[in-house]
Amino acid sequence: MLIAILSAFLGGLILNFMPCVFPIISFKIMGLIGHIDNKSRLRKEGIAFMVGVIISMFALTGVLLALRAGGEAVGWGFQLQSPKVVAVLALVMLASALNLSGVFEAGLSLQRIGQHQNGKSGIYVAALTGALAIVVATPCTAPFMASAVGYASVQSAPVALAIFFSLALGFAAPFTLLSFTPSLSKKLPKPGAWMETLKHFLAFPMYAATAWLVWVAAQQTDASGLASILMCCVLLAMTAWTYGIAQRRALLEKKSIWQYAITLCLLATTFYIIFNPNSALRVNTSAQTSTPSETKQSNQATIVKWSPKALADAQNTRRPIFIDFNASWCITCQVNDKNVISTQDVQTALIKTNTIYMVADSTNYNADIVKAMANYGRDGLPLYVVYPANGGQPVILPQVLTKTGFITALENAAKL
25-33 vs 39-69: helix crossing angle, rounded to 10: 150
What is the C-alpha separation between 322 and 313, in angstroms, rounded? 14
Write down the pLDDT at residue 311. Answer: 95
Between strands 321-326 and 356-361, the pairing is parallel
> How many Å apart are CA 82 and CA 80, to the nearest integer?
5
- Alpha carbons within 13 angstroms on the beta-carbon side of residue 288 total 9
206 pLDDT band (50/70/90 cuts)? Answer: confident
pLDDT of residue 399: 87
Q: Are 229 and 87 in contact (CB under 8 A)?
A: yes
Residue 45 CB partners (closer than 8 Å, separation 6+)? 31, 35, 122, 123, 126, 179
pLDDT digits (tens, 9 = 90+) for 86-97: 899 899 889 988
| Plot region of 12 (φ>0 → left; ψ -120 to 50 → alpha; else → beta) | alpha
Tell me 397's DSSP state.
P
**DSSP summary character for residue 213:** H
pLDDT at 179: 82
- Give the pLDDT score at 121: 61
Instruction: Assess contact for 236 and 270: CB atoms under 8 A.
Output: yes
Q: pLDDT value at position 294? A: 47
**Residue 373 half-sphere exposure, CB side, CA atoms within 13 Å?**
29
Note the pLDDT of residue 388: 95
108 φ, ψ (degrees, to nearest 5): -70, 130
Nearest Cα to Cα of residue 184 among 71, 302, 42: 42
List 303's β-bridge partners, or say none. Answer: 295, 357
Rounded distance between C-alpha atoms, residue 29 and residue 36, angstroms: 11
Residues 6+ apart with CB under 8 A from 189: 33
What is the distance of C-alpha 201 from the center of its chain? 22
Do 301 and 347 touch, CB atoms closer than 8 A?
yes
Q: How far is CA 313 from CA 79, 118, 295, 308, 317, in A?
A: 32, 63, 18, 9, 7
Average pLDDT, the chain: 83
Q: What is the pLDDT of residue 108?
A: 47
Cβ within 8 Å of residue 283, ≥6 positions away: 83, 220, 221, 364, 365
Residue range 288-414, CATH number: 3.40.30.10
- pLDDT digit string, tens, across residues 116-154: 444 566 788 788 888 888 877 766 666 677 677 777 766
pTM score of the predicted model: 0.70
Which of 205-209, 321-325, 406-410 bottoms out in mean pLDDT, i.e. has the lowest? 205-209
**Stated length of the chain:** 416
Distance CA 34, CA 31 (A): 5
* Of the candidate ranges 3-12, 342-351, 387-396, the one whose mean pLDDT is the lowest: 3-12
Question: 361 - beta bridge partners?
Answer: 326
Domain ranges of the chain: 2-210, 288-414
